[in-house]
A and B are shown apart, each in its own frame.
Chain A
Amino acid sequence: MSELRDLYQEVILDHNRSPRNFGHLDDANRRADGHNPLCGDRLDVTVKVVEGVVTDLRFKGSGCAISKASASLMTEAVKGKTIDEFNELFDYFHRLVTDETLSVDERALGKLAVFSGVRDYPARVKCAILAWHTLKSAVSDSQEVVSTE
């Protein structure tokens, strides 16, 4: 059970149960779809970007606990950040869930640190990064469907 709790930490379960920033952003000026065919996850991310800053964003879709919580926590972490800051965070998050040698800097990551458990479950990495790839595609303005397969 303790092993499982490393993956399914309370914060993740909470965001799975009640995802934040869930829905569609009506005055969005960027959007992208993400798809993980392996588990059938689909995400729709709508974003408002004003002068290089992500002023608001929402996500919608169905997915496993890891992908839903990751999307939810991402929206909280990224709101108010510049696109450059998001790109930096993206790279760091990517390493967090894949790189076993990375020591987790809780200060820099905040709540996102709860995803460090994902490294021990390689099959779940794609779930954790789907939302991030989708948002990256939205803010870099390429409108195609993102796939983590």
Chain B
Amino acid sequence: MLKPVSRRSFIKASAATAAAVSLTSFDMHSWMASASADEKAAISKIPTTCNGCSSQCGMIAYTKNGRLWKLEGHPDHPRSKGTLCARGHGYATLIYSKERLEQPMKRMENGKYEPISWEQAFKEIGDKLKEIIKEHGPESVALVQDPRPTGNVYATRFIKALGSPNYYTHHVACNNSRDTGFNHTIGGVPSADIANSSYIMFIGRSYGDGIRPSSMSALAQAKENGAKVIIVDPRKNNTSPFADQWLPIRPGTDLALVLAMAHILIEKDLYDAGFIEDHATGFEEFKKEVKQYTPEWAEKVTGIDAQTIKTIATDMAQLKPKAVIEQSWRGAFGCNYKNSTETGRAVALFNAMLGNIQQEGGYIFGASAGLGDLDPDQFPAPQEPDAVKDGEEDFPLAPRGRGVANIVPLRAKEGKMKAAFYHHSNAALGYGNPEYYKEALNEMDLVVTIDVQMSETALLSHYVLPEPSYMERDDAVDGVGGGTAAVVLRQKAVDRVHPNTKPADEIFTELAKASGVGEYFTFTLEDYNKAAVEPLGITMDELREKGSIPLEDKKAEIGTVPEFNTPSGKVEFASQTFEDAGFNAVPTWIPPLVEPKNGSYRLTTGKQAIHSHTQTANIPMLMQITKDYDLERLWMNRQEAKKKGIQDSDLVEVSSDSASSTVKVKLTDRLHPETVYIPSHYGITSKYLTTAKGVGFSYMEHVPFHFQPMSGCSMIHEVIVDVRKVDA
């Protein structure tokens, strides 16, 4: 009677017999003991890649009985070279965390999330999508991601198959401004050859905070060889032990510094005239413009004395071409200020004036891996959509492939964007003002998030689809460009913990089928991977075994200046494209959008070595470091604090036009008095992420929802705050 009539039993007893297992093995303790005894034999070594940050270093996972046992850096991977950073070690604990998404979920009428089956999820999403496309056209659908190898193949194909041009990446809150500047001057973003350089200037970028192990060791090596290192940053950042000089620049004025340095090179005739002659256009116009940017002028703007500027520019010219302004990443001009794109142009052009392009110790355009693609006859690719990507008309200079992701919420509010997919992206906390994002996403008819944890963006979605973690799945083959290109594979290292998760390749394939465009997804991930390695003369078996293979025949050619990927094929000191877009042909001083007045501060932000955006905040091992050393505190200049009666570790209120936050303060002499600095990893509000929730605050809450005019970036440093002590 107790036995329910129709049991939905988990285990099927058809041919089972308990006698098959000895009593000893039934005893967990003795079984564990014997299973651990022959462990040496059972340990397997699986090369794969980290997902702790965008560097995606190669690593080796040791596993035992399908579970993770140990991690090491992959010795052959160009970015890890055998070591992993704190995140690389710590992020792996995500696999076994309880706070992961386990099954597809749907937001119900009452706002609560209910688990649903995959069939139901695909069907409902597909139906809704078809309905939206029918009514509003495919241009009302967008897809946004922080790209990872599988997403690069599948997500882009999916949105294209739907007939929509609206594919976007996270770069609006990362390095789109810099890239816009670099693309239109030197046709792309090279990497500084740090290890061989004699004079290195970093603007905003800090190898000691935004870690990539190979970069940090290259810098250590350069120092060993006697290189001079300058850091330009309102904050004496964690690279400073390796720097000879710190220039505490007034935030947002890096452009003035670089323009003045260019001025010196011209005035003293120190630039590489031969290079300019052969490989550049528009130099005369540039010369005219730069004439006004004297070091004395720059001193007033930047707060760095004219003599220092002169000395540095002259020293760099003397050591050229082994002198370089490092290309930076998000740093000071990735997406930070109104003038960041111009800073990008100025930096690229200053390096060109040093003639360091494709020279040892200068800027090197790396070789690319040259992966193959699916055979279009066998697996027809969707057509390029006719419509232009939304935002491209507003921001014609921004990198086309990546688009301007913050167009999506803007158009949602205008009622034009009806559906959005967010894959491996926490846009609602990371790309722009969270309040704005919330309002905008609530306007849409369909928001779908694909992720591993219940992020703030997931909490604004109608459907949440769970992926297995990066250690539990195979990804698409990836090429890593560089001095020597490499081909790498992220592969499944451990057994899947949550059986009801699906990797992105399966999710997009099923979504495509449910949306009526399944004909473009008749291939498997393995088909793609085979096609990708084919032209390299490498088999998937080899790649699986090695994980990361350097391509010795794909090396950057040093010494030969390449054709530049610009309209003229040359370095463009003056750009017709800029002029056509309504801007100045040559880089021009533009002041920052907002200025702190007496007693208020510019809120600036940056990375810490132990976290990646907000993605790692819920990892107990990494968050514990934050807690042990109060790393979530707001930095404030000691003298400024004194004026306001604020003491170290006091609780302060930080308020801007957009928000107000309370946080503990760290007093320091390592910070420019006009700014307060907050690490960018905190302020998680999702109640599903209990380790991270409530620690620190998110700078994004203070950043108004706005667009940098040239690149569409979020201008994350254009915000002024007041700071006052909170009485306990």
Answer yes or no: do A and B interact: no
